[in-house]
Amino acid sequence: MAELLPRLAIAVPGADEVVVPASLFPRAVSEVWLEIGFGGGEHVAEQVRRHPDVGIIGCEVFLNGVASLLGHLNASGIDTVRIFPEDARLLLPALPEASLGRVFVLFPDPWPKKRHAERRFIGPANLAALARVMADGAELRVASDDPVYVEWALGHLGDHPAFTARQITQERAALPDDWPPTRYERKLLAGYPPTFMRFCRKPRT
């Protein structure tokens, strides 16, 4: 970790600093995707295996999760992952408009207590930030096993003028082939069914 993380980590941008996603990688990539809160990192690792031409930025505040992703990447030769080991909201303002081709928010903290609801990632301020950095037609993938969070997310996504629903399902078999399960999801499969949401960034006018 001491050797690999410094090579892959993105520093917290300074005031007015611009971080061009495609410039973070040592070779050209077709587009850049962002995973917010990657947990153990298995989803990021599987996505880069399936899409070797895509660069992926993973954001995770917990050191154990960062270490887990580094374990998936170590000795793999994969050079298309970069890690932001901080709150994603510190990175989003530095990204240029329409610079991301896909965003993942998979099983985020649901902040179940009513007084903490405004801390949920899917909400007006963060959706506005995502709408700015996502390219026209880019896909936002959200998943949660918390019914309150699902209702909250669907309400805010449905109300936001930049997004339109593409798929909402509890059937994993109905998902695209390139939506591998996370470790957290695998632990859930015998319990309450998660809801999977795919929303599309509408074309700018």
Q: Show the tokens assigned to 175.
A: 């998902």
Single out the catalytic residue among 16, 79, 87, 109: 109
Q: Collect all residues with Cβ–Cβ distance below 8 Å to 138 and sequence separation of at least 6.
A: 100, 101, 102, 103, 200, 201
| C-alpha–C-alpha distance, residues 87 and 100, integer Å | 17
Helix (H) or strand (E) holding 134: strand 134-144
What sign has the CA pseudo-torsion 171, 133, 43, 117? Answer: negative
Q: Which long-range CB contacts under 8 A does 155-160 form with residues at least 24 apart? A: 156/122, 156/123, 156/124, 156/127, 157/122, 157/127, 157/197, 157/199, 160/124, 160/127, 160/128, 160/131
Size of the chain, expressed as the number of residues it contains: 205
Tell me the torsion sign for CA atoms 42, 43, 45, 50. positive
Nearest to 80 by CA among 47, 37, 43: 47
User: Any catalytic annotation for residue 177?
Assistant: no
What residues are annotated to the active site? Answer: 109
